[in-house]
Structure 1
C-alpha cells in the first residue's frame, strides 16, 4: 500500500507540475512588464519609438547606431530627427552622410537646420556658402504669406484703417524682398479708399528685427472718381518666428498726408483660423 501511495503521489506531482510552472510564468509576466521592443516599433512606423531608441543608444555611448535610429525617423518625415542625425554624423566626420538630413531640416524651414548646414559648409572650407546659410537662418522660419492689419494716424488728416496681404517667400532673397496688395479705408474722409500694390525690402539685423521700406502705387477712390497715387513707407518690424510681427512706420503719398502707422501681421493660416472662430 505504501508503495502504491508513493506512485500515486509521483503521478499527481507529474500531472500538476506543468500547471504550477505555467502559473509561475503567468505571475512573473504579469508582475513585471517586459520593456518595449523599440527597434521593432520603430520599423513599424512609430516615430516616438525611433526617437526613444536613438536616445537609449546615445545614453549607451553608441552614437553611430543612434544616428541610424534617428535616420529612420528622418526618412519618415520627422524633421527634428533629421537635425539630430546630421549633427551626429558630423561629429564622426561623415560630412557627406550628414548633408542629406541637414538639408531636409533646412528645406523644412528650421532655423537650427540652417545653422547646422552652415557649420557643415564651414567644415568643408566653403566660407561663402556658410555665410549665405547664416543669413538665411535669420529669416527662414518666418511666414510666407501674412495678413496685416494696421492703423494710420494722419499728421494732417487722412487717418485710416489699413489691410495688407504680404508675400515673402525664401526665393525672394531669403524673404528680404516682399510684394503684396494694400487697402486703406479713411476714417477721416468716409468716401475715400486707397488700393495699392507694393514692393518692399526688409533687412534682417537679427532673427526678430528687420527695418524695411516699400513703394506703394495704385488708385485713390473717392466720390469724385479715381486718381493715381504713389507713396513710400519706412519702418521697423519685430518678428515672433512664424506667427507674425508687430510693426511701426512712417509714410506719405502724393495725394495724401504724412502718417504714422502701427500694424500687426499674422501668418495667413493663423489669421484665417482666428477669423473662422469669431462670432
Structure 2
C-alpha cells in the first residue's frame, strides 16, 4: 500500500454541461471558484446515460465561457476520448482554450466507453483492443502537437491518426504544454499515464469492491500499487505523478458515499490521502438526476471539512 503523498490533497468538482449559460451556467462556475475548488471539470461527451434526452452542451465551448467568467479556477475535461475527437483539431481547440484561460487548463483524457459517443459518427463501436490501440496513439499524437507544434509543424502517420505539417503557433501558455490527467485502470493505460501524464485518474474498481467500503478501499489500494509498479517499470518516480480520484458513487454504488455527510467525506478524504491521492473530484449537484445531492451538504463538505 502506498504511503501518504507529500503533496496537499486538493478538492475539485465536475460540473456537467447541462445548464443554460445565461440562466444558471455562469453563476455555477463562478460559485465553484468562490467555494475554493482547485479545478472544475466537465464531461466531454455528446450525451451521457440518463441525460440523453435532456439539455447537454459541448465541453470546449462551455470551458471557454467558464474561462472568461472566472479568474483563478483551473478548468478541464474529465475525460476527453477518441470516440469523436481527432488529435489535430482537438489540439487547436486546446491551445485556444489555454490562451483564453491564461494557462488554467488540464486535459483529462481516457480511452472512452461503449456508450452513445462510440457510435454517434455512424461507425461500429470499437473492440476493446482497438480502443486501447487508438487511445495510445491519440495520447502520443496530442503530446506531439501540443509540445512541438511550432513553426516547423508536426507530421505523423500512425495506424489510426495522421497529421501533415500541422502548426499550433504560439503553442500553449503552459510550457511545454498543458498538463494531461490520464484515466486508466490497467497496466497499458497506466503506462500512458506514467509516460505522458502529469496525473493519473481513476474511479476505483467498483466491480471488485463487493459493495462494502472495505472492499472499495482494498481494490483502490491494488490499483495504486499497480500504478507504482508501472511507474518504476518505465523509469518514472511515482511521487511525481498526481493521483486523481473521481467519485462515481452516485451512479455506480460501491459501499462508500462521500457526500452522505461532512463526517463521511472527512473519513473518505483521510483514507484517500493515506493512499497518496492528490486530488478528489466531486460531482456538482444536478436536480432530478443521479447527481441530486443535497446542496447544503455539498457546500458544507466543501467549506467546512479540512482535507489532509
Largest Rg, 1 or 2: 1
Common fold: TM-score over 0.5: no
Which structure has the higher relative contact order (CA within 8 Å, separation 6+)? Answer: 2
- Measured against the shorter chain, the TM-score band is under 0.3
TM-score w.r.t. the length of structure 1 is 0.24
